[in-house]
Amino acid sequence: MIFKKCLALEFSDSPPSAFTAPMLLTQIALVTPSLWTNIHITSPSQGFQSLLKVWLDRAQRLPAKISLDGRRESAVEDVVRERAGQFADLEVWEDTQDQGREIDPWDLGNIARTPFLTLDKLTLGSNRATNRQTRLGINTCLEFLHNTPRLGQCTLIGWANINQVWLSEPRMHTCLRQLDLGHWSRICTAQVLEQLTLPALEFLHLSTLDIKLDEFEAFFTRSAAPLRTLQLIAHPSSFWMEYCPRTDAVSLCRLVPRLHHIDILFDAYDMTIPFFNALRTEPEFLPSIVSIAVRVRWPEDLSVFCEQLRDVLSARRRTFQSFKLFQVDGYDSREEFESDQAQIAAALGGLVEDGMHLEIDEM
């Protein structure tokens, strides 16, 4: 049907042949700019920059997305810099194809210093999170943010190299609404927050708590952001254990009382107890929260765990709209998980009747 609708009238009564269809589709593609706005480049060959220019020309003035994955040719980077005003979405994934290459932490400097005045979304990712020498420094991240004044979403995955920061005072970014520092399985330093003021921030994901509580407080105070969603892993990475004491989840949440949604991964079951106790006994603790997701390895004694969950959710049943519970690390068998899942669901079933959405699953 797609082919038939695209054909000229004289061909409408007969199906396209194996020869005419590709030609017609090519002609359609060449005059459809939206088909050329999403470009993914993986380790390009020499001379690829000419083809990239053609693709960007075909996109005309539509906002484009480009993803640079693995080893990059300088000529390709030059084209990206020349056409910086054409991009709304930029992804840079470092060293995902050439695992044996040593990375210069400053090899993104030329792109980072390029003004991307129309960019709305930026992703900087590294798949070599275990090798600190391959991670991008904070200065380069800050350089990107400085040159993307309209940026609304920023994701940093696996970047954590700590080097001397040259800023004399935190830099303000007035448009950034979403900041994702890491991934559930790959850490990214939260120390970049020390160098930023983000008055428009609504969403924050932290994959490690490697800055002190007073530094978090300073960030939230000067930003005065309308933060509504917080995702975090409630423990520092092993590398940072000696750098700073644990920043506990309860103390951190007290700094952002206007949160509506929180998604939190606990390192161990016993770390959930202070958090649940605060929710159960302190009405002023996260008073605006409407949805919560907890990720933790379930304890062997599910009866105590279920009682704890039931007490918390009963205390907040008037405000909670959604509660999600995820099992971390998984079970040896699906049957074992489903048995425990059913036990928890049965214990909390009465809350569903009150209109609360419950989800119990594996992470």
pLDDT of residue 349: 84
Which positions ≥6 away from 12 have C-beta within 8 Å?
A: 4
Tokens of 30: 């060449």
* SS3 category, 111: helix
- Consecutive 10-residue averages of pLDDT for the chain (363 residues): 41 53 72 83 74 86 84 80 93 61 52 92 71 58 90 84 64 95 74 90 89 89 96 65 65 93 91 94 96 93 93 92 91 88 90 85 88
pLDDT of residue 350: 81
Q: How far apart are CA 81 and CA 335, in angstroms?
A: 54
Q: Judge contact between 137 and 106, C-beta under 8 A.
A: yes
Which positions ≥6 away from 260 have C-beta within 8 Å?
A: 228, 229, 288, 289, 290, 291
CA angle 95–99–104, rounded 5-degree value: 50
Of the chain, the end-to-end C-alpha distance in Å amounts to 41
Spell out the domain ranges in the chain: 1-31
Q: DSSP H helical segments within 282-361, as ranges?
A: 302-315, 334-347, 349-353
pLDDT of residue 161: 55
Residue type, 89: D
pLDDT of residue 289: 96
Q: How far apart are CA 110 and CA 119, in angstroms?
A: 16
Report DSSP state, residue 298: P
Residue 18, class by beta-carbon neighbours within 10 Å (0-12 exposed, 13-18 middle, 19+ buried)?
A: exposed
Which positions ≥6 away from 79 have C-beta within 8 Å?
A: 49, 52, 53, 56
